[in-house]
């Protein structure tokens, strides 16, 4: 019996340029470093460029290039200006990580229009217009690309006092599926990562409550909270040639939480 030939699985990103929004800390910082470890050059985007320098230094220490770009995802004009600068200085991107996001926990009866608009403009509208701008560059280059949206457990389940956030992340799930279908002929893959419970600046309000931690750990089959390294491999996989036939999917990195409810 002849064993068929299989090409080596390629998780490498050498020669690729990735843009990560909200890359100054937490998940965005970890994913930017992960892509650099896999060989990518990075464009680090955020509202305050100075806050991105720590991430840039970590990437340069790996021998990769890191460019810092001001970009406010809640402002469509800022997105346009940022991508114009990227086009002029770098030429294009191969990977977009739509990570920038905000969260505010508040009882639904107390939510006002300003809070609703703030979360939706940043988490959903901003992600769409970043994806649109990236897809225009990718399609112009004619080589396709990969877009990765940061979804959430709230893309799948309802969390009390997190209605605007959950609405934005559920919308992001729908957007991921729709864009994957529409942009497949352009060679652009659109996927998502859905982090479970990870301790970040956005979620610190929960982790200060010991009773909450005990209760939540009892609901996670792997019996621990997530570590940034748990997300890094998922991001590299979905951005790499190893995931060439994967699009329109969200990979939940949650210790089995969703599977157990």
Whether 243 maps to a domain, the answer reads: yes
Strand partners, 191: 148
pLDDT band at 206, cuts 50/70/90?
Answer: confident
d(CA 174, CA 155): 9
Residue entry with tokens 């036939």: 245
Containing structural domain, residue 54 = 17-260
Whether 120 maps to a domain, the answer reads: yes
d(CA 144, CA 147): 10
142 has pLDDT over 80: yes
Higher pLDDT, 153 or 205: 153
How confident is the model at residue 189, as a pLDDT?
A: 98
Domain count, the chain: 1
For residues 40-61, one letter each, b for 16 or more C-beta atoms within 10 angstroms of the residue's C-beta and e for the rest, the string is bbbbbbbbeeeebeebbebbee
Terminal alpha carbon distance of the chain: 45
Over residues 151-165, the mean pLDDT reads 95
Whether 7 maps to a domain, the answer reads: no
231 has pLDDT over 80: yes
Percentage of the chain lying above the pLDDT 90 cut:
90
**Residues identified as active-site:** 165
How confident is the model at residue 201, as a pLDDT?
A: 77
d(CA 103, CA 112): 14
187 has pLDDT over 90: yes
d(CA 205, CA 104): 10
How confident is the model at residue 15, as a pLDDT?
A: 96
CATH code of residue 188 = 3.40.50.720
pLDDT digits (tens, 9 = 90+) for 74-84: 999 999 999 99
- Both tokens of 28, joined, read 């965005």
Whether 12 maps to a domain, the answer reads: no
How confident is the model at residue 202, as a pLDDT?
A: 73
Number of Cβ within 10 Å of residue 242's Cβ equals 15
Whether 164 maps to a domain, the answer reads: yes
171 has pLDDT over 80: yes
- Both tokens of 216, joined, read 């939540």
Whether 11 maps to a domain, the answer reads: no
| Cut 0.85: pTM above it | yes
Whether 6 maps to a domain, the answer reads: no
How confident is the model at residue 200, as a pLDDT?
A: 83
Whether 8 maps to a domain, the answer reads: no
Least Cα distance to 187 among 132, 254, 135 occurs for: 135
Over residues 121-134, the mean pLDDT reads 98
């Amino acid at each position: 019996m002849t064993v068929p030939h299989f090409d080596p699985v390629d998780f490498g990103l050498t020669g690729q340029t990735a843009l990560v929004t909200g890359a100054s800390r937490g998940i965005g910082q970890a994913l930017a470093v992960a892509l650099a470890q896999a060989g990518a050059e990075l464009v680090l985007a955020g509202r305050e460029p100075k806050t991105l320098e720590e991430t840039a230094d970590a990437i340069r220490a790996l021998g990769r290039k890191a460019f810092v770009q001001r970009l406010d995802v809640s402002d469509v004009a800022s997105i346009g200006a940022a991508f114009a600068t990227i086009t002029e200085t770098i030429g294009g991107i191969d990977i977009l990580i739509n990570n920038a996001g905000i969260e505010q926990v508040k009882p639904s009866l107390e939510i006002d229009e300003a809070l609703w608009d703030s979360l939706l403009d940043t988490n959903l509208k901003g992600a769409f217009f970043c994806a649109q701008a990236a897809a225009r560059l990718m399609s112009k280059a004619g080589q396709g690309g990969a877009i990765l949206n940061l979804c959430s457990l709230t893309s799948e389940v309802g969390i009390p006092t997190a209605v605007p956030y959950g609405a934005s992340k559920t919308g992001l799930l729908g957007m991921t599926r729709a864009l994957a279908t529409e942009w497949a002929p352009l060679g652009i893959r659109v996927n998502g990562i859905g982090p479970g419970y990870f301790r970040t600046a956005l979620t610190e309000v929960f982790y200060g409550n010991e009773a909450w931690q005990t209760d939540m750990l009892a609901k996670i089959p792997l019996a621990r909270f997530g570590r940034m390294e748990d997300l890094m491999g998922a991001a590299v996989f979905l951005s790499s040639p190893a995931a060439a036939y994967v699009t329109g999917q969200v990979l939940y990195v949650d210790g089995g939480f969703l599977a157990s409810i």
